[in-house]
Amino acid sequence: MPPFRDDHILLIAPGSTWTLAQLGLPESFTPAKVRIPSRMFPGIEEGHYLPNKVHEVTEGQELMLGNGEVVTAGPNGKPYKKRKVGESASKPSATATNGGAADGGAAGAEDSKKPIDTKGDTTMADATDEKEHHDEDHEEEGHDDDEDHEMNGTKDKASNGKIYYDDDFDEEGAIWCMEQGRIVNWECFFALLLHVHEHINPTFHTPILMISQPSWTCTDKERICQFIFEKIKAPGFCMMDAAAAISAAYSAQSSLIIDVGYEKTDITAIIDYNVQELGRTTIPEGGNSMNKHLQKLLPHLSEDEIEQLKHSSICEILPPGIPIPGEEDSDKDTIMRPPDIGAIGMGGPLPPKAPEEEANEEEEEGVTNIAAIVASGKTQEYLAKKEKEKADKKAGLGLGEKRLPNYKREKNTFSYLEKLADQSTGPTKPDQAIEVPDGEHMDVDPAPATEEPQPSENIENATVPTEGDAAPAAPSSEDPLKVNPEAPPKPAGPSLMESMFSGTKDDDEAKKAQEKALRREEKKRQEAAQSGEKRREVEVGTERFKVAEGGILEAIADAAHRVVSSADDYNQRNDCWKSLIIAGNGSRVRGFKDALLNTMIAKYQVSPSTGTIFTSELPSNIPTPSGTGTNTPQPSSFNTQPNALLLQAAANNAAAAALAQHHPSIPQANQSPSEMKIAKIPEYFPEWKDAGFEECVFLGAQLGAKIYFVTDQGANKGFVTRADYNMQGPQAIHNI
């Protein structure tokens, strides 16, 4: 078999909401190029699926509406344009590419249309032409067979009696083929795979690597393998476990992987590159449980708004010690603080510091008086006044509010994008006008304040291909790095006086940053206008800090502890805890990772950590262990508690060395976890750094594909070849 080439490898990572795919391995690995929502729509024919909602409209209606734009009561209750996808005309053989599709006909009605939902594709106008072209084929395929009966109701008896409208925004009737990672609708899933395959349209000699979800059963994998070989006819196929892929991306030998998805969280322990199949678990908590919790707190917002609120930068989980504005520094916050911050090694919880605090100091200086106004609760009146005053002077607009960091503001706004195609993840509810509850106001500020709360920070974020909304792209663990350049020149306690004297430079910087922000805003709005999106400000109160209070953190922490505890090799459990990997798009919420780590440390980490034992000096007042061993250590020795464990560690090594016996006694472990920290993000993938490592499962897939298909070339049976499949059938997938 000729060797596979880098640029002829197809990677597919199916997920419950998004399916990622990419053809070819670039020189430097990049985030997935294709994102397709994991849903299909029932096609015109029974058992056929289409990637977009297709409306049937008779030609008569079309004439009435004219020039290809159909004005209908769409799901949003307002008119919008639908594209005309084509009329049936002469037909090439519809199923030419699909061979003898025997299986439920899932293959039949696929099209090769370019999905407009790929990231960054906001210029729909350009895409439309191409789409129209493709869609003609597509429509014919679907239309072919039941043309006769569809004809019945139409006035026009010509062969092209029906017109189909491809509706990119309507999600009604969508079938999501996966739920919590499990495949619930096979026909639909296969249709999706075929859609992905045809959309990318690789050559015949393109092997496929698929990321398998942990919850897939062995039979599931066999079925997929069968489909890949018999329908897609790939020359090589392999499946990579999602957790294995994530650990490969981090190149971690032992790790604990927490993959927070939409409706589920997979927790897997990896020891010595081996997935611990037995202990791994999938719990039904994920991004959606946060949505639900927010929905409970903010009943007046629609599902869509909640989702976008979660994505926006104002929604964050505050680190311990930072009170939620407007509330007392409540009991909860003090309790959440881990027992001994000083004793915990690096990677421990962040000291109580809001992520943006330093970055904002410079801004705060100039606006101390405004902060006072905000604190006094008159922000809105003040702003209204200010807006009037400076209506023509854009640069200064809303400056004051913008400068106050998110965590100090009782209320903040995010801009809600109405009708952003495929942004929403659930079936969209018919959108009503937003009710404005008392005390809230619709911000008419043309520059959405929340989009750029921190100009200085957002410069870094600007490269991120956000989907309209500023996703909290930079993991907050990077914050210390980020703030360093800003922090030094700033005195700790900014005062009005200082700012008056030294303000000029800062003002300049601030102004520049702001101009940049405004320019970006402008651009965004233009893009939005082009793509038919509409922005609107929605204001929320402190609920935005409570996104994770629905028990998700505790549930994940407990499951994680169970998973590691069930790992058979108890000597290696500590290694898992030392390299936590929190991935998945559910963990994008600001502060989520730190909050999760803090929760776990506070509850499960054995204090003190081994890290401090071996670095700290031996105090001279080691308490001698009391003779009976039943005495608890003296109260005076409380501060030097590490010594107990130090002794223990030393004793254990000695004991292990002395254990020269013939019976395989497995060395006894110490209590774990003695240390927890988040694994270091790999540094040598610049493209990934910008996009965030939440989807690093795809990076792992790329690494895996490189090794399996290119480096190894099947020498170690890294993938199933056509020949293997012919010999062994679908079960070949288990033998790799």
Partner 1 sequence: MASTPQMSQVLPSTTKPAELEYGGDEISALVLDPGTNTTRCGFAGEDTPKTCVPTSYGIIPDPEETKFLGKLKIGDNAIHSVIDGMEIRNPMHEGIVENWDVTTEIWRHCIEYRLSSRVEEHPLLVTEPIWNPLKKREKTTEIVFEDFNVPAYFLVKSAVCESFANTKGTALVVNVGHTYTSVTPVIDGIPLKKGSERTPLAGQHLTTQLRHQFSDLGIRMAPWLMIKTKAPYTDLTNPTPLRTRDYGFQPHQSFLELQQDRFIHEFKECISETWPKPKTFPTDINSVPESNRLLQDKAYEFPDGYQRRFGLDRCLAPESLFNPSVSPKPFTGETPKGIAEMIKDSIDHIDADARVTMLNNIVVVGGTSLLYRFNERLNEELMAMFPGPRVKIYSPGQIPERKYSAWLGGSILASLGAFHQLWISKQEYDEIGANIIERRAK
Q: Is 618 in the site for partner 1 (CB under 8 A)?
A: no
Among 100, 299, 488, 493, which residue interacts with partner 1 (rule: CB under 8 A)? 100
Q: Minimum Å distance from CB 479 to partner 1?
A: 24
User: Per CB under 8 A, which of residues 666..705 are in contact with partner 1?
Assistant: 666, 668-672
Q: Minimum Å distance from CB 644 to partner 1?
A: 5
Amino acid at 711: T
Q: How many C-beta atoms lie closer than 10 Å to residue 130's C-beta?
A: 11
Instruction: Specify the residue, 204 or 501, whose C-beta has the smaller distance to partner 1.
Output: 204
Among 16, 76, 255, 282, which residue interacts with partner 1 (rule: CB under 8 A)? 282
Q: Is 500 in the site for partner 1 (CB under 8 A)?
A: no
Nearest 5°: the CA angle 667, 668, 670 is 135
Q: What is the rounded distance in angstroms from the CA atom of residue 395 to the CA atom of residue 659? A: 74
Q: Is 629 in the site for partner 1 (CB under 8 A)?
A: yes
Among 234, 367, 517, 553, which residue interacts with partner 1 (rule: CB under 8 A)? 234
Q: Which two tokens stand for residue 76?
A: 């949003």
Q: Is 636 in the site for partner 1 (CB under 8 A)?
A: no
Q: Is 97 in the site for partner 1 (CB under 8 A)?
A: no
Q: How many C-beta atoms lie closer than 10 Å to residue 530's C-beta?
A: 13
H/E stretch holding 561 reads helix 552-566
Q: Is 609 in the site for partner 1 (CB under 8 A)?
A: no
Q: Is 632 in the site for partner 1 (CB under 8 A)?
A: yes
Amino acid at 334: T
Strands 265-271 and 281-283: antiparallel
Q: Minimum Å distance from CB 13 to partner 1?
A: 20
User: Per CB under 8 A, which of residues 336..375 are in contact with partner 1?
Assistant: 336, 338-340
Among 29, 164, 229, 414, which residue interacts with partner 1 (rule: CB under 8 A)? 229
Match 């464990």 to its residue by tokens.
Answer: 645
Check if the beta carbon of residue 109 is closer than 8 Å to that of residue 49.
yes
Q: Is 265 in the site for partner 1 (CB under 8 A)?
A: no
**Residue 74 half-sphere exposure toward CB, CA atoms < 13 A:** 21
E strand residue ranges, 251-384: 255-260, 265-271, 274-275, 281-283
Q: Is 329 in the site for partner 1 (CB under 8 A)?
A: no
Amino acid at 595: A
Strands 178-179 and 281-283: unpaired
Check if the beta carbon of residue 132 is closer than 8 Å to that of residue 51.
no
Contact string (CB under 8 A) for partner 1, positions 235-254, x = contact:
x-------------------
Q: Is 569 in the site for partner 1 (CB under 8 A)?
A: yes
Q: Minimum Å distance from CB 726 to partner 1?
A: 5
Q: Minimum Å distance from CB 655 to partner 1?
A: 7
Q: Is 268 in the site for partner 1 (CB under 8 A)?
A: no
Among 67, 376, 432, 630, which residue interacts with partner 1 (rule: CB under 8 A)? 630
Q: What is the rounded distance in angstroms from the CA atom of residue 415 to the CA atom of residue 406? A: 15
In sequence order, the 6+-apart residues with CB closer than 8 A to the CB of 417 are 308, 423, 468, 469, 528, 533, 534, 535
Q: Is 228 in the site for partner 1 (CB under 8 A)?
A: no
Q: What is the rounded distance in angstroms from the CA atom of residue 596 to the CA atom of residue 555? A: 10
Please choose, out of 66-74, 276-284, 483-491, 709-717, the segment that lies near partner 1 by the rule CB under 8 A: 276-284
* DSSP secondary structure of 148-160: HHHHTT-S--SS-
Please choose, out of 452-460, 467-475, 510-518, 620-628, the segment that lies near partner 1 by the rule CB under 8 A: 620-628
Contact string (CB under 8 A) for partner 1, positions 181-210, x = contact:
-----------------------xx-----
Among 6, 137, 357, 554, which residue interacts with partner 1 (rule: CB under 8 A)? 554
